[in-house]
Chains A and B, each alone.
Chain A
């Protein structure tokens, strides 16, 4: 199918979203709640575009991360209206995430320095994009979710402090666009959500691998033994070199 974005005819595959088509064409659309590995959410609204099915109808503002490509669609990504909407949204997001470098940079790109709105009294820098909770669910831990409603909502453990289901994988912190999830690694120890885990040292390199809890979950979901998860990439490379060396019978194995 063929659709036009900003007047450019572009090919799209069935099932693709407008965001995918636009990004493939090198059109820059900002997103904060989007991650290729997770189902689209449509919460931050930064990726909104204007869409028309017929040239004479009024454009409709839709989130490009969710709107499916259709043959003959006319899409605009950077009209004055859309730029104003994005600037306003970023201005609003600054009220709750003034400490986020990404949001500050995006806001500046849209002509907004400090927020022009009333800032939150104690901003957490969390923008409730739920990337963390969706990543946690995708991992299979379901350790965190959104508690409360509306602007009062927050990402939380069950009953605030029950971190039993957390496996210390760190996925939530890795996907957080504002860096507001605290993860501390010290030696083999990893502290996240108020709980300290021990990462298992790599049996080859001695470097920290993943936590025993994370390995148990992976093992449960994949049916593989846990031991296989306790090797770092470096360790695995050395193991492979050893195996090859043993097989061909040259060298001394763990050669430098």
Chain B
């Protein structure tokens, strides 16, 4: 439908006709068109499938969907209705992969499909898995929000509507007062997914009850979607925007209705071109269908939405900095109060929520607060999406109920540590979060448990580290990141982090003493307590949490002048062992020419002249070079 939907009945009639026309048993090929799979060439793959289907005269729906989450195995393909799962399709031989899938799996009747074994997922134990639901990465998840991603074509409004989209909006506009919608969100226990975990309903109420300046004779209030996702390794919001843009729009519409907002902004970083493109299309389609603009669905409710692209400053995820950036000013935080709920965009009451918060709202309104509150823990309801990355076997987007244990996420979904190494830590909450050790693996993850453990939920980044990760170096990395991202407005964050950076570099470069530690521990609380915004206030967390749980590694760098994980160049030694076959490749590749040895004889590194660049270690095919802690 490209024309306006005149009223609520017409929306339901359209949905009914879409559902009636849809044959659930019709074969469909769902090809992931998230950023990760696109990078692996999934656009070409979809094109090849379309061509192959046409050539064979098959009655098959070929659809490009949002991100399926198992990004490292992309491009991902799922054959409906049986949901046969194929991974890494077309990476090596696109034509052959497409032909075999079409001829053996797609052309066969449901239930009689043949499987292409080389494109199947195999468990670490070597067992091949046929169906998507049986892949451990998916089996242990509870995909409420992400379920749309693999199912719908994110560029199709009809697809969203057929799958229940805008039903919550119809319900709210048709049978609920704004107060009832707000009460539903309050009762659901939904908390902000952007990091702080503030109760969403309470935040909405502040904005709803705030006095607003009048524009054109009517009070002006705004809702804003914060899509300035900037944590290293995190891509939850990007995938939701790319895979289900109408879900975010519907959440904003419901929030605007409950709060009394007339206009909205989505603040999305320009590094997310696909998200911007799909969002812009969704807004245009919704506007054409009368789901945005004046007199939405004939109910008299009016709301419009704009996209503001951010230039990629991490600090613009902070809500007052975000407001400044949308207004066209420098993205710098300001003191609160006044909170944006009272004085936000252009001085008007403004409610800002994160992408994942907004996309939860239609589910809550559609299925009810009681249903939502039945998922999760006492203090944290619903599910949470994590981007599980680092040294686990299965990396990607993971959605689990609040209260799932770290062990469940890392071991069951993530499939344990890569290369059979030992787990060391999991970093949650992005740069301002913390690193939790193995003893915390049974922690049931929610907003409060993570904070109590000295880390935080943040927006859902989860970086798994193995025994070859140096925790001092990790803390140094995050401090360096935050030095780059500090806006420079306040002294403790701007200049304090620089000095914390110097101290961390002293430690990883072998100059650290106990005085270095003392200085770090004296400076960190000043940065935490005296900084203006959450960026500075939480910036010392990576240092403080690693000091809390991995102090012995700091001490090894200081007392023993050793990096136990073999990472810090100044505190390690490369040594060739008797596994050396004398192949000479290390000697040839060594940029300093400090490796000597005859062909087929044990080689030697001149350790005094070695710069520990690591080239020898990475080129050795016999694993004959050890990294020893210390010099």
Contacts and interface: CB of A to CB of B under 8 A. Distances in A.
A45 B484 contact: no
Contacts of B498: 95, 118, 151
A149 B486 contact: yes
A151 B492 contact: no
A219 interface: no
Interface in A114-166: 117-118, 127-128, 130, 145-146, 148-153
A43 B532 contact: yes
A151 B492 CA distance: 11
Nearest to B495: A92
A85 B486 contact: no
A42 B483 contact: no
Given A42-B334, A44-B491, A85-B530, A92 B499 contact: yes
A66 B531 CA distance: 14
B335 A146 contact: no
A134 B252 CA distance: 36
Interface string B527-541: 001111000000000
Interface in A69-98: 81, 84-85, 88-89, 92-93, 95-96
Contacts of B485: 149-150
Interface string B519-530: 000110010011
A122 B485 CA distance: 22
Interface string A35-68: 0000011111110100000000000010100111
B488 interface: yes
Contacts of B313: 149
Contacts of B483: 150-151
Interface in B496-516: 496-499, 502
A170 B28 CA distance: 71
A145 to B, nearest CB: 8
Contact of B532 (A45, A67, A130): A45
B176 interface: no
Interface residues of A, number: 35
Interface residues of B, number: 29
B489 interface: yes
Nearest to B493: A150
Contacts of A46: 491
B496 A146 contact: no
B499 A95 contact: yes
A61 B530 contact: yes
A84 B530 contact: no
B495 A93 contact: yes
A67 B337 CA distance: 8
B530 A89 contact: yes
B323 to A, nearest CB: 16
A40 B532 CA distance: 13
A85 B483 CA distance: 20
Contacts of A127: 491
Nearest to A66: B335
B494 A150 contact: yes
Contacts of A44: 490-491
Given A61-B530, A85-B529, A118 B499 contact: yes
A150 B491 contact: no
A151 B529 contact: no
B335 A118 contact: no
A89 to B, nearest CB: 5
B330 interface: yes
Greatest chain A CB density within 10 A among B496, B522, B531 is at B496
B104 to A, nearest CB: 55
A61 B495 contact: no
Given A66-B335, A89-B526, A150-B486, A45 B492 contact: yes
B487 interface: yes
A45 B486 contact: no
Determine chain B's interface SS by DSSP, over half rule: helix
Contact of A146 (B330, B486, B492, B529): B330
Contacts of A41: 489
Contact of B491 (A45, A118, A149): A45
A128 B502 CA distance: 21
B495 A95 contact: yes
A158 to B, nearest CB: 14
Contact of B526 (A43, A68, A84, A145): A84
A118 B523 CA distance: 13
A46 B532 CA distance: 12
Interface in B322-368: 330, 334-335, 337
Contact of A117 (B337, B492, B502, B531): B502
A92 B496 contact: yes
A8 to B, nearest CB: 24
Contact of B530 (A48, A96, A117): A48
Contacts of A84: 526
Contacts of A68: 337
Interface string B402-435: 0000000000000000000000000000000000
A43 B495 contact: no
Nearest to B494: A151
B126 to A, nearest CB: 50
A42 B490 contact: yes
A128 B497 CA distance: 16
Contact of A89 (B337, B487, B492): B492
A239 to B, nearest CB: 44
A57 to B, nearest CB: 15
A196 to B, nearest CB: 30
A248 B605 CA distance: 103
B240 to A, nearest CB: 28
B330 A43 contact: no
Contacts of A85: 492, 526, 529-530
Contacts of B337: 68
A79 to B, nearest CB: 12
Contacts of A149: 313, 485-488
A88 to B, nearest CB: 4
Contact of A92 (B487, B489, B492): B492
A150 B488 contact: yes
Contacts of A150: 483-488, 494
A96 B499 contact: no
Contact of B335 (A42, A88, A95, A153): A42
A42 B532 contact: yes
A128 B488 contact: yes
A22 B326 CA distance: 36
Contacts of A93: 491, 495
Nearest to B499: A117
Contacts of A128: 488-489, 494
A92 B502 CA distance: 13
A150 B501 CA distance: 14
21 contacts: A43-B489, A45-B531, A45-B532, A46-B491, A63-B532, A67-B335, A68-B337, A81-B529, A85-B530, A89-B530, A92-B492, A95-B495, A118-B502, A127-B491, A130-B489, A145-B330, A149-B487, A150-B486, A150-B487, A151-B498, A153-B494
Given A42-B489, A46-B491, A150-B487, 7 more contacts: A42-B532, A43-B490, A44-B490, A45-B532, A48-B530, A88-B492, A149-B487
Interface of B: 313, 330, 334-335, 337, 483-492, 494-499, 502, 522-523, 526, 529-532
The 5 closest A-B pairs by CB, nearest first: A92-B495, A150-B486, A153-B488, A66-B335, A150-B488
